[in-house]
């Protein structure tokens, strides 16, 4: 057993303030380890922070306002518009150029405004999610080392930090003391199996000053004690051959939002720490997670100088895009391809038919602008930002905006039981021996086990300590079937067993809990205070507490405590024990099952007398003596029943993934109204094939006795079955499943690794918050899809209309200024879409991005607008007899300008709902107001002095308006008919 550092009373002489390098702690009990330095003083911390900066890693997500402005301006659609506007200016079409630049300015400013607001909102919200760490520093006033809790960003090289299970390693550190300390390095190596970290005395070497180190790479050898060699970590090392990206290719990949990182293998200089360093037992790296045990470590590198910091940018570049991101990119490509395919035929047709190649060229440019959905990025960003704001008002912080879309699409929610379905206010309900009779033996052995843990206690341990402190010490008798005689004696202080129990023992060692053994033990030594004539200085006892089956499997005897009232008799091995036969084991398991059926969470307590052993290992948890059971009650939340009902009404199935007993979980589920069809345990999954697992996850509601990896396997199997899966958890055992899920959901009180792995963090651990988030996600998805399907269907219809007009009419059906003005007004009308609402029926079912659905919608709805465009052509051609260039072409163009603007503005209301607009479903007030404003503007433009002349718009005769309103009515009816046909054929909307 490794001794612990002496944190108090050992302090080196003050250092020269100009000499930042730290001196070794010469008086430390571990002074033989030359790598150990004393905790820092406040002045040293200040100087080191000035030298090294704060302990944060830039991943490319934090952007300044001018970076956001540049990003908003340099969108592919804006670049295209700038090119077209510049071309128009070169041909002295200054009006056309002005309108194009106005569209660029409008799109850029709107997108910048929304992204800047979103950036500010996310930064302010993430302040609620802080990562704390226990650090040991020297207090110059108290003249001793003290432990304080600080934000991990405040760490500096040289700090001493204490790490516990569930915490993220906050920097690159070197272990100076540990006890059964295991970390998961999956984020660095891809290996899910935790590795043990400890002081490697054989490899310990002196290190030079870390405080004055300015170059990370040159000091890697100093940190590890070895020269750098080997390859890049397996998870990050590309297997493809080296290949550089040309500047031209990089420019176009940047334009279209494609990854621009080089596919070449990263050099050793860029890689930082190597695999050989990751395998070193004394080194832990930022981003890895403490799984079990405890450790005290010295910070070596912080922030961008850490291994994770060096790789953060590369990791961010390599992050795969989700279906929504890929879908938006493909939609952008559809628009570009449509434009490229349409503009040349229009140019040729206009050139040969109109015989004016200059006018044909300007018209083709205007058509290209009309087919460019320049508002797409603004609409997407605004809807996501608005969704994030709505969710924050519901006590939900969104770390990744795209997760909102996935949140609306989940059809299965996997959740842990404790604290989510239950109150997480655990109380000790019963303590019984092997016969089910109340007994003080398991109570007080369990208390000693919980009291002496140095690792953070779980709710069960807290319940034991609270029970002793409140019920026993105060003599309150409120537990069913309690040991009344023992409690009465305790209240009168007649029995030394209850008087200052913990003070009679000293902690020798502990074997921390892990999710494989599912138990933990403390090794105690009696230090005096019992019956003096029976006192033995060398009495050492191992007290084990854990899952019933796992503890009983390591027991060979059982305690007969029917007459025993003094816990010291157990310590001194002065009590009767009997062999634990297989039949008794069966009886114990049956008793456990009976308690579990009552909704009680049961743990077993056992002990082992060790004599005068000085070293302790996990293997010592054998040949133990079974004492009894502790049964805890964690009642379901009052809100859980309502939340489960709401989730089911919104077609989200709930599955419970827990490490707890299946019987306890089943009772809780029934109390909250969650029907249980099938229960699957970890043993069932361990022996099943992949096909069997995929079948089991569909049938089962409860998955009990799961390991952390098995939770992840269940989520993965559900995803393979075609589900969008959300996972809600807050414990370290939930981290793998959070990473695997489509949407990882944690809480602000969860472990660091969970908050880091999650996409969404709840400020309140309540399933009703999840219900609200699902609804907001579906609304956000619906509003985003409104614009996308509207844009693709309108553009698809415009293709046929423009081609038909260009091939038939001996003049341009609409002037270039008309097209640009119409497109500008149309874009303005769409600004209000993110503030629209969705029909209740739409919010009741999950939705996932489907490119096929968008294309089907485009084909079914798009051509209808062409029918009415051609009808307008025919009306103007035959009724007003505008057939040649000598006729009133300006009137023809003004008429189609008005018809096109009104129909495109109305399409928002037709596509936003499968119902009949304005009768069965109304849009939100901002959308209605914007529609009225734009339609009135379009009708008024031909009559506004100066503007009509500048745009070359003619006054429309009164005979045109009956046709116009009849056309709009018929257009709405036809669009509604098309929607009905679409719903009949495809049984879906969007």
Mean pLDDT of 390-401: 80
Distances in whole angstroms, Cα of residue 970 to Cα of each of 527, 813, 864, 954: 94, 22, 11, 25
Residue, of 27 and 837, whose pLDDT is higher: 837
Distances in whole angstroms, Cα of residue 695 to Cα of each of 212, 315, 652: 58, 34, 19
Q: Is the pLDDT of residue 658 over 50?
A: yes
Question: For the purposes of burial, counting CB atoms within 10 Å of the CB of 528, is it exposed (0-12), middle (13-18) or buried (19 or more)?
Answer: exposed
pLDDT digits (tens, 9 = 90+) for 170-207: 889 999 988 778 887 766 665 656 788 888 765 544 33
pLDDT digits (tens, 9 = 90+) for 784-796: 888 888 888 887 7
485: which DSSP letter? H
Distances in whole angstroms, Cα of residue 105 to Cα of each of 40, 109, 111, 712, 818: 53, 6, 10, 47, 19
Lookup: tokens for 515: 């999710």
Length of the chain in residues, anyone? 990
Mean pLDDT of 328-335: 74
Predicted pLDDT of residue 1: 41
Predicted pLDDT of residue 628: 92
The Cα–Cα gap between 404 and 643 comes to: 19
Q: Is the pLDDT of residue 127 over 60?
A: no
Distances in whole angstroms, Cα of residue 917 to Cα of each of 37, 49, 655, 788: 73, 61, 38, 19
Which residues are registered as beta bridge partners of 519? 546
Residue, of 457 and 615, whose pLDDT is higher: 615
Distances in whole angstroms, Cα of residue 774 to Cα of each of 445, 526, 843, 913: 46, 56, 9, 19
Mean pLDDT of 842-857: 85
Predicted pLDDT of residue 12: 34
Distances in whole angstroms, Cα of residue 641 to Cα of each of 638, 654, 671, 761: 7, 12, 8, 22
Mean pLDDT of 919-927: 92
pLDDT digits (tens, 9 = 90+) for 744-757: 888 877 666 677 77
Lookup: tokens for 843: 């919010």
SS3 assignment, position 630: strand
pLDDT class of 899 with cuts at 50, 70, 90: very high
* 581 CB-near residues (< 8 Å, 6+ apart): none
pLDDT class of 209 with cuts at 50, 70, 90: very low
The Cα–Cα gap between 741 and 699 comes to: 19
Name which of 820, 795, 810 is nearest 364 in CA terms.
820
Residue, of 766 and 912, whose pLDDT is higher: 912
Q: Which residue is associated with the tokens 């009006």?
A: 95
Residue, of 27 and 891, whose pLDDT is higher: 891
Residue, of 747 and 243, whose pLDDT is higher: 747
Distances in whole angstroms, Cα of residue 269 to Cα of each of 209, 229, 231, 310, 360: 21, 10, 11, 10, 57
Number of other CB atoms surrounding residue 440 within 10 Å: 27
Mean pLDDT of 815-838: 85
Lookup: tokens for 397: 């912080």
Predicted pLDDT of residue 254: 46
* 738 CB-near residues (< 8 Å, 6+ apart): 727, 729, 744, 745, 746, 754, 757, 758
pLDDT digits (tens, 9 = 90+) for 966-981: 999 999 999 999 889 9
DSSP sequence for 515-537 = TTT-EEEEEEEE-S-S-GGG--T
Q: Is the pLDDT of residue 615 over 90?
A: no
154: which DSSP letter? G
Q: Which residue is associated with the tokens 């465009």?
A: 869
Q: Is the pLDDT of residue 717 over 70?
A: yes
470: which DSSP letter? I
Percent of the chain with pLDDT over 90: 18
The Cα–Cα gap between 112 and 91 comes to: 31
Lookup: tokens for 920: 């069965």
* 148 CB-near residues (< 8 Å, 6+ apart): 134, 135, 137
Under 8 Å between Cβ of 334 and 326: no
Predicted pLDDT of residue 751: 67
* 108 CB-near residues (< 8 Å, 6+ apart): 69, 72, 73, 78
* Element holding 726 (H helix, E strand): strand 725-728
Average pLDDT for the chain: 76
Percent of the chain with pLDDT over 70: 76
Which of 238-242, 359-363, 372-376, 489-493 reaches the highest mean pLDDT? Answer: 359-363
The Cα–Cα gap between 455 and 128 comes to: 25
pLDDT digits (tens, 9 = 90+) for 29-52: 333 333 445 788 889 898 988 888
Q: Which of 349-363, 716-730, 785-799 has the lowest mean pLDDT?
A: 349-363
Which residues are registered as beta bridge partners of 415? 656, 728
* 393 CB-near residues (< 8 Å, 6+ apart): none
Q: Which of 273-282, 531-540, 805-814 has the lowest mean pLDDT?
A: 531-540
The Cα–Cα gap between 433 and 228 comes to: 58
End-to-end CA distance of the chain: 63
Among candidate residues 35, 402, 416, 752, the one labeled active-site is 416
* Element holding 773 (H helix, E strand): helix 767-808
Let me know the angle formed at the C-alpha of 268 by 266 and 270, rounded to the nearest 5 degrees. 60
The Cα–Cα gap between 31 and 37 comes to: 9
Question: For the purposes of burial, counting CB atoms within 10 Å of the CB of 871, is it exposed (0-12), middle (13-18) or buried (19 or more)?
Answer: middle
Distances in whole angstroms, Cα of residue 401 to Cα of each of 73, 407, 421, 573: 21, 10, 27, 61
Which of 205-219, 362-376, 482-496 reaches the highest mean pLDDT? Answer: 362-376
Lookup: tokens for 724: 């969008």
Predicted pLDDT of residue 787: 84
Rounded to two decimals, the pTM is 0.68
Which of 312-326, 415-429, 830-844 reaches the highest mean pLDDT? Answer: 830-844
pLDDT digits (tens, 9 = 90+) for 470-518: 765 554 433 333 333 333 333 333 333 444 667 778 888 888 877 778 8
The Cα–Cα gap between 200 and 794 comes to: 68
Lookup: tokens for 224: 């590890």
Predicted pLDDT of residue 350: 77
Instruction: Output phi, psi for 211, to 5 deg.
Output: -75, -30
pLDDT digits (tens, 9 = 90+) for 862-880: 888 889 999 999 999 999 9
Helix axes 816-829, 94-126, angle to 10 degrees: 20
Q: Is the pLDDT of residue 957 over 60?
A: yes
The Cα–Cα gap between 439 and 677 comes to: 37
The Cα–Cα gap between 410 and 64 comes to: 33
Q: Which of 128-132, 436-440, 823-827 has the lowest mean pLDDT?
A: 128-132
* Whether residue 888 lies in the annotated active site: no
Helix axes 889-911, 767-808, angle to 10 degrees: 160
């Amino acid at each position: 057993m490794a001794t612990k550092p002496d944190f108090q009373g050992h302090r080196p002489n003050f250092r020269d303030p100009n000499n930042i390098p730290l001196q070794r702690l010469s008086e430390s009990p571990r002074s033989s380890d030359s790598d150990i330095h004393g905790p820092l003083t406040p002045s040293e911390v200040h100087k080191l922070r000035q030298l090294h900066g704060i302990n944060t890693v830039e991943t490319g997500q934090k952007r300044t306002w001018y970076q956001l402005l540049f990003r908003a301006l340099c969108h592919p659609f804006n670049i295209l518009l700038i090119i077209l506007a510049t071309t128009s200016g070169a041909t002295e079409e200054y009006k056309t150029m002005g309108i194009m630049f106005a569209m660029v300015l409008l799109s850029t400013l709107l997108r910048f405004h929304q992204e800047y607001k979103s950036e500010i909102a996310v930064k302010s919200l993430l302040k609620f999610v802080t990562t704390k760490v226990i650090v040991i520093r020297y207090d110059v006033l108290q003249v001793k080392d003290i432990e304080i809790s600080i934000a991990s960003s405040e760490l500096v090289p040289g700090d001493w930090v204490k790490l516990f299970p569930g915490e993220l390693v906050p920097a690159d550190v070197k272990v100076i003391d540990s006890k059964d300390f295991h970390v998961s390095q999956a984020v660095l190596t891809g290996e899910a199996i935790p590795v043990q970290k400890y002081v490697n005395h054989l490899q310990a070497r002196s290190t030079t000053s870390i405080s004055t180190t300015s170059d990370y790479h040159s000091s890697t050898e100093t940190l590890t004690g070895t020269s750098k060699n080997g390859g890049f970590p397996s998870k990050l090392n590309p297997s493809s051959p080296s290949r550089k990206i040309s500047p031209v290719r990089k420019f176009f990949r940047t334009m279209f939002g494609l990854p621009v990182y080089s596919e070449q293998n990263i050099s050793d200089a860029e890689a930082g720490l190597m695999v050989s360093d990751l395998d070193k037992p004394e080194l832990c790296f930022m981003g890895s997670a403490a799984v079990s045990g405890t450790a005290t470590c010295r910070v070596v590198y912080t922030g961008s100088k850490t291994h994770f910091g060096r790789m953060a940018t590369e990791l961010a570049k390599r992050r795969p895009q989700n279906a929504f991101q890929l879908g938006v990119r493909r939609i952008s490509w559809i628009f570009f391809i449509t434009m490229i395919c349409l503009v040349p035929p229009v140019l040729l047709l206009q050139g040969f038919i109109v015989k004016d190649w200059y006018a044909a060229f300007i018209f083709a440019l205007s058509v290209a602008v009309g087919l460019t959905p320049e508002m797409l990025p603004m609409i997407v960003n605004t809807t996501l930002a608005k969704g994030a704001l709505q969710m924050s008002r519901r006590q939900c912080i969104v770390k990744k905006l795209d997760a909102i879309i996935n949140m609306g699409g989940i059809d299965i929610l996997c959740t842990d039981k404790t604290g989510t379905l239950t109150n997480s206010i655990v109380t000790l309900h019963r303590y019984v021996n092997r016969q089910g009779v109340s007994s003080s033996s398991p109570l007080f052995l369990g208390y000693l086990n919980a009291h002496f843990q140095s690792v953070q206690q779980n709710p069960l341990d807290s319940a034991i300590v609270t029970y002793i402190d409140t019920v026993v010490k105060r003599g309150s008798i409120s537990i069913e079937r309690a040991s009344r005689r023992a409690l009465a004696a305790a209240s009168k202080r007649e029995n030394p067993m209850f008087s200052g129990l913990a003070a009679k023992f000293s902690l020798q060692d502990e074997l921390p809990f892990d999710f494989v053994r599912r138990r933990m033990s403390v090794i105690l030594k009696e230090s005096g205070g019992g019956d003096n004539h029976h006192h033995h200085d060398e009495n050492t006892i191992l007290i084990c507490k854990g899952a019933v089956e796992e503890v009983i499997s390591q027991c060979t005897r059982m305690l007969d405590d029917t007459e025993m009232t003094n816990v010291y008799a157990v310590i001194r091995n002065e009590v009767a024990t009997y062999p634990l036969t297989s039949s008794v084991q069966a009886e114990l398991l049956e008793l456990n099952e009976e308690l579990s059926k009552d909704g009680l969470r049961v743990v077993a307590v056992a002990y082992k007398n060790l004599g005068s052993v000085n070293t302790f290992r996990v293997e010592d948890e054998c040949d133990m003596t079974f004492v009894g059971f502790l049964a805890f009650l964690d009642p379901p939340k009052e809100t859980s029943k309502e939340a489960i009902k709401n989730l089911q009404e919104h077609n989200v199935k709930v599955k419970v993934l827990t490490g707890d007993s299946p019987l306890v979980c089943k009772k809780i589920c029934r109390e909250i109204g969650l029907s249980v069809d099938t229960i699957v345990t970890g043993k069932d999954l361990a022996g099943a094939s992949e096909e069997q697992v995929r079948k089991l996850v569909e049938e089962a509601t409860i998955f009990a006795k799961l390991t952390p990896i098995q939770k992840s396997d269940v989520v993965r199997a559900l995803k393979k079955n075609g589900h969008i899966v959300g996972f809600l958890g807050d414990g370290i055992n939930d981290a793998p499943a959070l990473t695997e899920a489509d949407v990882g959901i944690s809480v602000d009180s969860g472990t660091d690794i969970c908050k880091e792995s999650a996409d969404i963090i709840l400020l309140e651990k309540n399933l009703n918050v999840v219900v609200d988030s699902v609804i907001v996600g579906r609304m956000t998805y619906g509003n985003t899809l409104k614009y996308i399907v509207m844009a693709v269907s309108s553009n698809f219809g415009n293709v046929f209309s423009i081609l038909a007009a260009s091939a038939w009419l001996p003049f341009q059906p609409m002037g270039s200024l008309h097209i640009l003005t119409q497109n500008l007004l149309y874009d303005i009308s769409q600004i209000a879409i993110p503030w629209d609402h969705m029909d209740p029926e739409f919010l009741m079912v999950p939705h996932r991005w489907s490119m096929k659905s968008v294309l089907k919608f485009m084909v079914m709805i798009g051509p209808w607008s062409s029918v009415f465009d051609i009808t307008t052509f025919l009306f103007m051609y035959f009724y007003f007899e505008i057939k040649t260039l000598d006729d009133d072409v300006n009137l023809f163009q003004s008429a189609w300008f008005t018809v096109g603007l009104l129909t495109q503005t109305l399409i928002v209301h037709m596509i936003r709902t499968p119902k009949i607009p304005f009768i069965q479903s109304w849009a939100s007030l901002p959308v209605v107001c914007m529609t009225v404003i734009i339609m009135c503007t379009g009708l008024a433009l031909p009559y506004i002095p100066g503007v009509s002349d500048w745009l070359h718009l003619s006054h429309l005769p009164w005979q045109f308006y009956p046709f116009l309103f009849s056309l709009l009515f018929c257009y709405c009816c036809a669009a509604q008919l098309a929607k009905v046909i679409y719903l009949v054929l495809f049984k879906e909307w969007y």
